[in-house]
Structure 1
Amino acid sequence: MKVNRMEAFSDGVLAIIITIMVLEFKVPEGHDWHSLAGLVPKILSYAVSFVYVGIYWNNHHHLLHTVRTLHGKLMWLNLLLLFWLSLVPFSTAWMGESEFAATPTALYGIVLLCAAISYTLLQQAILKQHAPDSPFAQAMGTDWKGKVSPVLYVAAIGTAYLNAWVSCFFYVLVAVLWFVPDQRIERVFRSDPM
C-alpha cells in the first residue's frame, strides 16, 4: 500500500468525524434568536472539537509526507490515532449536552490525551525511518508543544471535577498552541525535499 492511500482513508475518517459532530445538533423548536440559547454549550464544544480535528488533519497531512516506507506498524498506529479521534464526536456531544458537567468534561480530556499520545507514537515510528542527524529528525527534536500538551490535558482532566470552565480553558489553550500548523516539517521540506 502506498502512503497516499492511508492518507486518503484518514482524510475520509476525519471528514466523517466532523460530519457526525454537526449532525448532533437538533433544530430548535422556536424561530427566533432566543431559541438558539439552549444550544450554546453544544456550539461551544463543537467549535473547539472542530478546531481540534482540523489541527490533527493538518499536522497528520504534513507528517505522512515524511513516511519513507509504509508498513503494518505505521498502519496500526494510524488506526489507533483514528480510533481516539473517532471518539471526539461522542465526548463532544456528551460534554455539550451536559452543559460541561465534570465527568463528560474529564472524558473529553481523556479522549484528547489518548489522541495526543497516539499521534506521538505515530510520529516516533515515522521518525525511526530517518537518520538521527537528518534535517527531519533534528526538526522533530524540538517538540515542545508535543511535550506540553499532555501535561495540559492531565491538568484539564483533574480540574474538571473542581471547575469545568478551568478545564475547558486548558482545552482551548492547547488548541491555541496548535492552531498554527506545525511548521517544523514545512521548514524541512523547504530546505530538504527529502
Structure 2
Amino acid sequence: MMTKGRLEAFTDGVLAIIITIMVLELKVPHEGQFEDLKPLIPVFGSYVLSFVYIAIYWNNHHHMFQTVKHVSGNILWANINLLFWLSLIPFVSGWMGENHFSTATVFLYGVILLAAAIAYFVLQNLIIKSHGKDSILAKALGKDLKGKVSPILYVIGIIGAFFSVWISGTMFVLVAVIWLIPDSRIEKTLKKEYNQ
C-alpha cells in the first residue's frame, strides 16, 4: 500500500495554482479612480465565490485525508479526477465574470461544480471501500446529509440558469454557505478513536 503524503502534497500544489490562476483574471484598471473598478465587480464576484469553493474543497480534503491510512491506485485516480474538475473552475469563473453572469456561463459553472461534487463523492466512497465500513471516515460521515443535498441544489441551479441566473446564484451560494458552516464530524470521530 502507498502512503498518502505525496497525494496530499500534489493536491495542495494544484489547488494553490488554481487560486493563483483565478486571481490573475482580475485585471488592473489603467486609471486610478474608484469608478474604474466598477467593470471588475462581476469578475471579482465570481472570483470570490470560486475562491470560497476551492477553500472548501481544500479544507474538506484535508480533513478527509486525516482519516486515511493508505491509498490505492483507485484513490489516486479518483483524486486526479477531482483535481481535473476543480482545475476548470478558473476558466468557468473567469468566463462567467467577464460576461456578467449570462445564462450559458452560469449553466456551465454549475455543471463544473456538480462534476467536482460527484468526483469528491467518488473519492470519498473509494476511501471508505478501501478502509472498510467501520472506518473513521464512514463513521464520521454517517448519513452525510450535506453531501446528499448539495448535488440536488446544484441541479436546481443548473436548470434554473435557463429561467433566471439569480436562481442559480442563490443555489450556488447556498451550497457554499452549507459547507462553510464548520463541520466537525471528522474531528469528533478522530478524537473518539484516539481517546479509546
Q: Residue in 2 aligned with 1:89?
A: 90
Contact 1:45 1:95 in 2 (8 A): yes
Residue 180, structure 1, aligned to residue 178, structure 2: no
Once structures 1 and 2 are overlaid, which stretch shifts more, 176-185 or 51-60? 176-185
- Report Cα offsets for 1:107-151 as digits up to 9, x if no partner: 000000000000000000111133424454232122101000000
- 2:131 is paired with a residue whose SS is coil
- The number of residue pairs the alignment matches comes to 194
Residue 33, structure 1, aligned to residue 39, structure 2: no
Residue 61, structure 1, aligned to residue 59, structure 2: no
Distance change in 2, residues 1:17/1:135 (3 Å): closer
TM-score (norm 2): 0.95
- State the percentage of identical aligned residues: 53
Which ranges of 4 or more aligned residues in structure 1 deviate by more than 2 Å? 129-136
**Post-superposition shift, 1:180?**
2.6
Q: Residue in 2 aligned with 1:107?
A: 108
In the alignment, the residues of structure 1 paired with residue 127 and residue 99 of structure 2 have an alpha-carbon distance, to the nearest angstrom, of 39
**Post-superposition shift, 1:25?**
1.2
Calculate the aligned-residue CA RMSD, in Å. Answer: 1.4
In the alignment, the residues of structure 2 paired with residue 153 and residue 136 of structure 1 have an alpha-carbon distance, to the nearest angstrom, of 24
Code of the residue aligned with 1:151 in structure 2: it is I
In the alignment, the residues of structure 1 paired with residue 145 and residue 71 of structure 2 have an alpha-carbon distance, to the nearest angstrom, of 27
Q: Residue in 2 aligned with 1:10?
A: 11
Q: Mark the runs of 5 or more structure 2 residues left unpaired by the alignment.
A: none
TM-score (norm 1): 0.96
Distance change in 2, residues 1:29/1:16 (3 Å): same
Q: Residue in 1 aligned with 2:124?
A: 123
Code of the residue aligned with 1:111 in structure 2: it is I
In the alignment, the residues of structure 1 paired with residue 93 and residue 135 of structure 2 have an alpha-carbon distance, to the nearest angstrom, of 39
